[in-house]
Structures are given as structure tokens and as C-alpha cells.
Amino acid sequence: MSWRTKAAGLAATGLITAGLVVAGSAGARAATTQLCQSQTASASGGTYTVQNNEWGSSAPECITTDGNADFTVANSSISNATNGAPGGYPSIYQGCHWGNCTSGGLSGNPVQASAITAGKVSTSWSTTQPGTGAYDVAYDIWFNQTPTTSGQPNGTELMIWLNHNGSVQPFGSQVATGTSIGGRGYNVWFGTQGWNTVSYTMTTAATSVSGLDLAPLVQDAISRGYIQPSWWLIDIEAGFELWQGGAGLATNSFSVAVNGSNPAPAACSATYSVLNSWPGSYQGQVIVKDTGTSPKNGWKVAWTFPGNQQITTLFNGAYTQSGQQVTVSNVSYNASIPAGGSVNFGFIANVTGTNAAPPSITCS
């Protein structure tokens, strides 16, 4: 069975604006973002991207995330045959997925396969796995023949299955059984359909891994001829391929470490100004600048008004206001800021009395 077109839908449709759902009383909890179909949201200041990536089904299915490196499958009516393609791959990634890149880490520093030695690239992932439905719990790790690509990688897709539920199996045919790699037992599957797909399924199921070193698996794939040493690691994804159901599946935490350290989010600053004013209202602007050395994919700005300013309309951003507290995040077309570059958003607000600027404004 073949299902490796799963990311094409996202590439074709582009980034779709996510919906914000505020949980609990105003300001009591962090805003929860709901992602359906091919919607995405930046996480941990842009270091990671969460994507719903429902590509093989039109059934209702959505995930939620809170801006950190986590997500939960909130609902899923996917009901695909288990001997065919799954309906989607809700996941979180670090790197470049079909040209959509996170900030820093692999997106700005792809790693050549020959350089992936012990400790060079590692990852941790904690999950919650309900016992119903048909799904896998799997990394999807992509190699490209060149350091970058705006489309589908043309090298090797390396999957690591921590577990699965129901009668589902990796693409291709099983080529090795009970192989010890890096201190763990794996069954190895391989198939090709214009690019190589090699899958390592853990013989002892796991709900989490901590500091999983990719070097032994990459070196094994190189030794089998599935990855060329000159190819480049550009993307590490972790998620759940859903054939049937899947509600309750969750990524509790996820991280990627390159060169032994976690990539830092691209830095940013925000500058607030008043452009025009008239009795009872005014026009404001905020310039968001990438002050780091790597592109920033996704941004969020927050401030507290010192007076009774109330935003009525905002352009080039998605905002929430609770009392004096305002949060503005990017929309799909201005999520990416090149290193040293900037974007801006404007708003109209009502005000009585003194129209003082916020004493501080944060950017992440």
C-alpha cells in the first residue's frame, strides 16, 4: 500500500489560518488553537510547527494546541480501510516541511547524513495513546539530496514507529526482524516509489523516548543503501497516522537537539506607535522585527494598555483583547520574517481620556 503523498495537500493549499478557542474565563488559561484539515500553528516561539495534515480523508477531524510543543487529537471521525492509506498525519515538526520552515535548528542548519555521528542529532517525545482506533505512533524524518527544497524531499523518508494500534503496517516489505540498533530492537521495512521509505518499528512498544540518538538508525540505513551519505537531513516530524478514530492521542512534549543543544527560537522585537488620532478613537501600528540571525516562522505580540483603549478593528493579524490585555499573532501570509526583516500590523481603537502607549510590549 502507498500513502506517501500525505504532505502534498498542505503544500498545495498553503498555510490556513487557525481558529483560536479561549478556554475558561478571560485570562485564566492560555488560548487554545484548534487546527482542522491542513491548518498549522507555530509552537514554542516558532522553533516547532504543529500541523493537522488531514490529507486522505474529508471526515471531521481536528487537533488542539496551546502554543507549546504539544497537541491533542480533539476529535476524529476518520474511518479508512487499514489496508490502504491513512486519513491524515497530525504532527509536530522541526525543520522544513515542503518549504514551510520553522525558526532556527534544522531549517537553517540541515545536517548531512555522513555527519550524523553519535550525539549529533537527538530527539525526545512523550505521547498519550488510547487503546481504541487504528493508528501508528511514528516519527517521519526526511532526507533531501540537496540542503533545501521547496517541495517534496527527493531523498529518503525514515520512519520510526514507537507503537501502533489495529491492523496497520509500514509501507513496503519487511526486510529484517528483531535487529538490535542503538540498544533497541527493531523490525525493518523498506519500499520505494520514486524515493526510499525505510521504517524501523520498535519490537517493544513505547509511549515515549528521551534523547533518542538518530545516529545508529541513520548509519544502519546508510549501510543498507537506503540513504546516501551526501544527502541532507532537513526535517524531523512526530505524530500519528490515523486510519480509524484516534481521538485522545496526544503529544505531551516534543524536542529536537542538534549538536547536543536545543535550537533557540529566532529573536524578535515589537515597536508600538500612534499614526493618527481623532476625538474618541485613533489609528495605531506595531512593527514586528526579526532581530536574530535566522528566519522566524510565526510570531506573537502582547501588551497591556495603561488606559481604557479598546481595539475595534485590526489588520494583518489575529487578536484577542481581555480588559487591558491584548495579544496579536500572525496570520498565514505574514507568519515568516527573514532575519533582519520586519512585518507590521495596524488597528483602530476607541479611547477616552489620555491615550498613553503601553509601558512595554513583548514579542515571541
Cα–Cα distance, 137 to 242 (Å, whole number): 9
157 is catalytic: yes
Indicate which residue of 54, 61, 157, 237 is catalytic. 157
CB 88 within 8 A of CB 210: no
Indicate which residue of 54, 61, 237, 241 is catalytic. 241
Residue of 345, 349, 344 lying closest to 283 (CA atoms) = 349
**Residue 340: CB atoms within 10 Å:** 11
- Residues marked active site are found at 157, 241
